[in-house]
Amino acid sequence: MNSNSSSSQEKRILPIILATAIFMLMLDSTILNTSLPAIAEDLNESPLNMQSAIISYVLTVALLMPISGFMADRFGTKKVFIGALAVFALGSLFCSLSQNLNQLVISRVIQGVGGSMMTPVGRLTLIKTFPRNEVVRAMNFAIVPALIGPILGPLVGGYMVDYFSWQWIFLINLPIAFIGLILSLVYLPDYHSENSGFDLKGFLIFAGATFTLSVSLELMGNAVLTTPLLLGLVLGFLLLYFYYRHARKRVEPIFPLDLFQVRTFRVGIVGNLITRLGISSIPLLLPLMIQIGYGKSAVISGWMVAPMAVTAMLGKSVVMGILNRLGYRQTLMINTLIIGALICSLAIPDVKHSLYWHIPIIAVLGFFNSIQFTAMNSIAIADLRPYHTSSGNSLLSVNQQLAIGFGVAFGLVILKLFEGDTSLIQNEIHNAFRYTFLVIGGMTMVSAFVFGRLHVRDGDNLKPAQ
């Protein structure tokens, strides 16, 4: 099956199917944060022990994402996506029925198994269905939930716990998954690709690197640098080197090294990783600042960041025009500089100013974040050959997962370093947040130069035909 045989109705519905999967994933990754104290109380656990409910899910997703491309090629995109959606829904149901922490952790692992396949396989189906000059517009629509989910997560979680019960933060996935399953059964195209076999050794090495780095990131976010943490980071990067050695010798490794000979993919991957270090920490730091620095409730912090979702959708409506006018190189360089400057500007209002001075900055930040994600993700797959699409798409997904983890951990480490310097922050915790925003914003601005490696004409094949 190819893109030419795809019906116009399939092309209209496919982005909606992918959007349901992305929305559930992004909502679920953030909705738990505001609900942990209530879940801990109900399960007779300390809130500090509940971190495993988050880590188990993140690790499962990060570990299994690399095999999503192989699974889709071998068993077909339709079977794998529908199976992943069903497993995710089943895991959500089990989470709501959990009676203790161990049951909740096991249920979160089941959720992670489904979650690791949904987005990569859904995006792969979209890439194979649409011609290159239509991919960005389709992905542009499908990725809106990725921007809305993290904003709605804390808000919905706060209301669910306050007015219903924590079980509803998982049960809310069931009707969304049901809609996705029905649409997938009717409209999702099925693609297979020739596959010579599964690179088990490469997968184990890469999974070991992903696991070690993910655990180290979680530790980094909760503590100052320690010897075990540093050893974990060294081991993780050492395993990545071993994977490089392995991939050089293997005929068809799980992630071929010649992917990185494609300039747009290389810049897209590196740009995603470095730029998200700053961007990914903001959805965590902002609610923390509002609750700790200003002493406001979780619901207010949720409402404060909600404008980002509205402006993100506005950004999606204009991004195609911007890319067609300026091109990918100029758009990404300018847009990254603007995002960095906006993050820095979050440091301007001090605790004596009204909290609501931050709202215009937050709203404008959502607009430019929206442009950034669409441009980065689409340029990464712009020049991939058909035989590289599955592995390149899987690697892009893993890279984004690790980049988000790095960003959250990096933001927390910087915050804790400033928090410990009482003379610098003058015993005012809000100042620690202000200095953190300056560091993260400055680093984001520097990352703009990564996109300078693009050529002026890169991404022209993604533009709609005139």
Give the pLDDT of residue 373: 87
Q: Give the global pTM.
A: 0.77
Cβ atoms of 36 and 50 within 8 Å: the answer is yes
Give the pLDDT of residue 2: 44
The length of the chain in residues reads 466
Give the pLDDT of residue 432: 86
Nearest-CA neighbor of 298 among 307, 290, 309, 306? 290
Q: Tens-digit pLDDT profile for the chain (466 aa)?
A: 444 445 677 777 888 888 888 778 777 766 666 666 677 778 887 655 666 677 778 778 878 888 887 888 888 889 999 999 999 999 999 999 988 888 988 999 999 899 888 888 888 888 888 876 777 777 766 666 666 666 666 667 667 766 777 888 888 889 989 998 998 998 888 887 766 577 888 889 988 888 888 777 766 655 555 677 778 888 989 999 999 999 888 877 888 888 888 888 899 899 988 898 888 888 778 877 887 777 777 667 767 777 887 788 788 788 888 988 888 999 999 999 999 999 999 988 776 777 778 889 999 998 998 899 888 888 888 888 877 777 787 788 788 777 877 787 788 788 888 877 666 766 677 788 889 999 999 999 999 999 989 888 887 766 654 3
Which two three-digit tokens encode residue 24? 């559930």
| Cα dihedral 268, 271, 273, 277 sign | negative
Which two three-digit tokens encode residue 273? 């990783």
Give the pLDDT of residue 445: 94
Cβ atoms of 352 and 243 within 8 Å: the answer is no
Domains annotated for the chain, with CATH where assigned, are 1-198 (1.20.1250.20), 259-466 (1.20.1250.20)
Diameter of the chain measured on Cα atoms: 67
DSSP 58-102: HHHHHHHGGGHHHHHHHH-HHHHHHHHHHHHHHHHHHHHH--SHH
Give the pLDDT of residue 377: 84
Mind spelling out the 3-state secondary structure of 166-210?
CCHHHHCHHHHHHHHHHHHHHHCCCCCCCCCCCCHHHHHHHHHHH
Instruction: Report pLDDT digits (tens) over 421-431.
Output: 666 766 677 78
Give the pLDDT of residue 30: 65
Nearest-CA neighbor of 171 among 98, 97, 93? 93
Q: How many helices (H) and strands (E) does the chain have?
A: 20, 0
| Cα dihedral 268, 82, 18, 174 sign | negative
Distance CA 187, CA 20 (A): 14
